[in-house]
Structure 1
Amino acid sequence: MTIHAVIFDFGGVLFDWSPHHLYRKLISDDHERQWFLDNICTQAWNTEQDAGRSLAEGTRSLIEQHPQHEHLIQAYYDRWHEMLPGPLSDGVAILEALHQADVPLFGLTNWSAETFPYARANYPFLRCFRDIVVSGELKLIKPDAAIYHASLRQVRAHLPDIQPEEVVFIDDVAGNIEAAMALGWQGIHHVSAQRTAARLRELGVGF
């Protein structure tokens, strides 16, 4: 088996994204902040925007449900960039080493189409990718099989003869890796950069 392309997830692998980075500034009490993020501005709600719903509609509908939290809900996307303080340097180091070794690199991320341009504009390492599938642009979301099919089509636009087993996908969410492997891809559940780098080398990826 030979790996001919590496596909990266972004959040938790290359980007240190977390609502806590913003809401620590807005809700000082740890338990109160966690309750708010577990019950009001939840990950499931954010995922709806990653799947293509507009930020304005997502914000409006949540404020209608919880008007007493309007200012905190409004802050989520008004100050979204404060949730993204910077890259995860050890993950980016793997990406850049693979790029230097001329390994074909692609992205597959659950990310709002409206906020992703901020990342493109502010993080030059994204230029290492030949192409990127952004869930909000396609209105598909991991772990739906359809977004993996879309990603493979994108890879084949650059590498026409590549087969699923010649692709390795790196993601910090185990369920997303399981979905990729169910389609015949190789998968690496990212828990540390050291383990991911070691697994890439086990798969024969030289860098």
Structure 2
Amino acid sequence: MTEIRHIVFDVGKVLIHYDPNLPFSRLIPDEAERKWFFDTVCTNDWNIEQDRGRTWEEAEALLIADFPDHEENIRNFRRHWHEMVPHAYDDSVAIMEALIDRGHDVTILSNWARDTFVEARTRFPFLERPRGLTVSGEVGLIKPDRAIYDLHAATFGLEPAATIFIDDSQKNVDGAKAAGWQAVLFRDAGTLRQQLGSMGIDL
């Protein structure tokens, strides 16, 4: 196995908590109704297109045309986005910052909408610490598509075989491996420490 020289972190559910149910448990108190709303209206497939670069205005208009009776809650998805990301995972952030402090090359590759990532950067200053970031909404590509891994590697001069990627999604881990990277599935900070240690990466 090639020695790791580059460490790439995902953000959502690795460094920062994300859960749309946080505001919507209040906005749609009935659990069955809320599940229907996320399964049928503001679905993950709909939301990922904002990560690819679609504007919220366009995204909302598309859904409102199909579900006019749900206009208020469709708009509430963006209005209450800040509640969906209430805090960072301090133990994961500590690992990332320790790696940077020890001189490791750390960057970020994240599926995230352009405007909400701007907000995240103001709320979570540690996002400024890595050497660079690739945000899907800014480049018009999303994981697990091969192109975004290749773009990140080219932008920051990473050798794919010497790169370890940390993501909470198995699909994105598999996408990194298909691009020639090494990758691990994030479960929790303790497991990540063990995984990095097994690769000879000191913390």
TM range, smaller chain? over 0.9
2:61 alignment partner in structure 1: 60
1:180 alignment partner in structure 2: 176
CA apart distance, 1:90: 2.0
Q: Superposed, which structure 2 residues align to 1:2-81 within 5 Å? A: 2-81=3-82
- DSSP 3-state at the match of 1:57: helix
Decide which of 161, 165, 171 is 1:169's aligned counterpart.
165
Amino acid of the structure 1 residue aligned with 2:42 = C
Q: CA separation in 1, counterparts of 2:8 and 2:32?
A: 36
Deviations 1:165-185 (A, max 9, x none): 110000000011111111221
2:144 alignment partner in structure 1: 143
> Hey, which bits of structure 1, 4+ residues long, moved more than 3 A?
none
Deviations 1:128-162 (A, max 9, x none): 21100000110001000000001101221xxxxx4
Count the aligned residue pairs: 202
Deviations 1:57-78 (A, max 9, x none): 0011111110010100011112
Unpaired segments of 5 or more residues in structure 1? 157-161
CA apart distance, 1:195: 1.2
Q: CA separation in 1, counterparts of 2:161 and 2:201?
A: 13
CA apart distance, 1:117: 0.4
- DSSP 3-state at the match of 2:8: strand
Q: CA separation in 2, counterparts of 1:148 and 1:18?
A: 25
CA apart distance, 1:36: 1.0
Q: CA separation in 2, counterparts of 1:100 and 1:31?
A: 47
Q: CA separation in 2, counterparts of 1:38 and 1:129?
A: 35
1:159 alignment partner in structure 2: none
Q: CA separation in 1, counterparts of 2:24 and 2:100?
A: 35
- Scaled by the length of structure 2, what TM-score is found? 0.96
Amino acid of the structure 2 residue aligned with 1:113 = R
- DSSP 3-state at the match of 1:114: helix
Is the Cα–Cα contact under 8 Å of residues 6 and 167 in structure 1 kept in the other structure? Answer: yes
Unpaired segments of 5 or more residues in structure 2? none
Amino acid of the structure 2 residue aligned with 1:206 = D
Is the Cα–Cα contact under 8 Å of residues 55 and 114 in structure 1 kept in the other structure? Answer: no
Amino acid of the structure 2 residue aligned with 1:91 = S
Cα RMSD of the aligned pairs, angstroms, is 1.0
- DSSP 3-state at the match of 2:70: helix
Q: CA separation in 2, counterparts of 1:106 and 1:174?
A: 20
Q: CA separation in 1, counterparts of 2:183 and 2:155?
A: 18
Aligned-residue identity in percent: 40
Would you say 1:104 and 2:105 are equivalent positions?
Answer: yes
Is the Cα–Cα contact under 8 Å of residues 52 and 113 in structure 1 kept in the other structure? Answer: yes
- Scaled by the length of structure 1, what TM-score is found? 0.94
